[in-house]
Amino acid sequence: MYLWVDYPKRDVFDYWYQFVKDRDSRLVKQGIAVKDYVVKGGACGYRVSVWQHDARVFLTDQVDEKCGEGQGMGAWVQLGPKFLLANNKNLYDAVRELLIGIGITKDIYQISITRIDLAVDLLGVSMQDQNIQFWSDGWVGRSKLSTIHKNSRTGNLETLYIGSRKSSVYLRIYDKVAQCMVDGDYVYWKDVWKGFAGPVTRIEWEVKPKDGNFSDDLKDFKKFCGFSMRELVNYLLDWGRLCIPDETDSNRNRWDESPLWIDLRDVVTRWRDEVSWPISRFGKEFHGVSDAYIKSVSGTISGAMARLSENDVSWIGLYEGLQKHGESLEKINQKAKKKAEIFKRL
């Protein structure tokens, strides 16, 4: 979920920007630990960002105080899935706590929802079973199948895109397990899925409430609630549908929905009736490690052992070689502690 906070002053920006303005750009990219947060560079016109796990606030000096009333950029908030799942029952309070923590202390500033990403995971449904031509021919709605993405190494289908990122509704259908493996958070999502270990296909809508002229409770964060989400998902299920093509009927709106879309409606209905939310016991502080990272670390260590060990290729040889080149164990530990201060906040 993306939020915009109508914050008119530059004081909060000035406070956090001081930690990055004169620092090496490589350190800024990695992040600098400050209190319970990590401070990084900005994006999209915002010069600095303040991170806490997968929630982040982007700040700028281009605010009303400098640009004139109604002309400033305010603050931009991005809430990741772990933050949302951990705080689904008190989301507004959790966001207020986040904003207060970085210095936006008054509860008088308008908070608008600029984007909502709504996802449904279909357990046991594999992207490898999806027929691209069937999606192209059977999709009924204003938007059409626009892009496909295959794994560059295996050639396996990983993502289908429907519509355009510039439109008010944009749909992605992708292999969630494959993404988890790349991101290193498969253990977290497996816990959300209550231990399910098979294929998972995610249906994910990206919605811009203002562009789509949706109701106020999907644009004003103070009015946003669970009922808003239920109404939105009902709309999205009919915004576009995967159907079984019927050459005998030129009216595509009368086509029967495909088994996948029927299953999707069933999952949504059960969620809506049970009023239950998926959640993980790991919480928003979960730190995953991908297989690619492990292999990279292993390759770096083995390569260093081979290069730096003068006699016996071993851990001791690596240690002695590092010492010889000015990288003592104490120095390495100091670096590790600094990085750990960053990682535990992300």
CA 197 to centroid of chain Cα atoms: 22
Nearest to 123 by CA among 271, 7, 5: 271
Scanning 209-328, the segments in alpha helix (DSSP H) are 226-239, 259-274, 291-308, 315-324
3-state SS class at 185: coil
pLDDT, tens digit, 9 for 90 and up, residues 269-282: 888 776 555 665 66
Q: Which two tokens stand for residue 257?
A: 């929905």
User: 212, exposed or middle or buried, with CB in 10 Å at 0-12, 13-18, 19+?
Assistant: middle
Place of tokens 């406070």: 15
Nearest to 239 by CA among 263, 274, 206: 206
pLDDT, tens digit, 9 for 90 and up, residues 172-183: 999 999 999 888
Whether 288 and 187 have beta carbons less than 8 Å apart is answered as: yes
3-state SS class at 11: helix
pLDDT, tens digit, 9 for 90 and up, residues 12-33: 999 999 999 999 999 999 999 9
**What is residue 128's predicted lDDT score, i.e. its pLDDT?**
93
- pLDDT-based confidence at 285, cuts 50/70/90? low
Percent of the chain with pLDDT over 70: 95
- pLDDT-based confidence at 73, cuts 50/70/90? very high
Mean pLDDT of the 279-302 span: 72
Query: Domain extents for the chain?
Result: 2-109, 117-274, 291-343
User: How far is Cα 67 from Cα 96, in angstroms, rounded to an integer?
Assistant: 25
pLDDT exceeds 90 at position 118: yes
As separate numbers, helices (DSSP H) first and strands (DSSP E) second, the chain gives 13, 13
Chain mean pLDDT for the chain: 90
pLDDT, tens digit, 9 for 90 and up, residues 226-246: 778 888 999 999 999 999 999
Q: Which two tokens stand for residue 31?
A: 């992040």
Crossing angle for the helix pair 329-343 and 315-324, to the nearest 10 degrees: 100
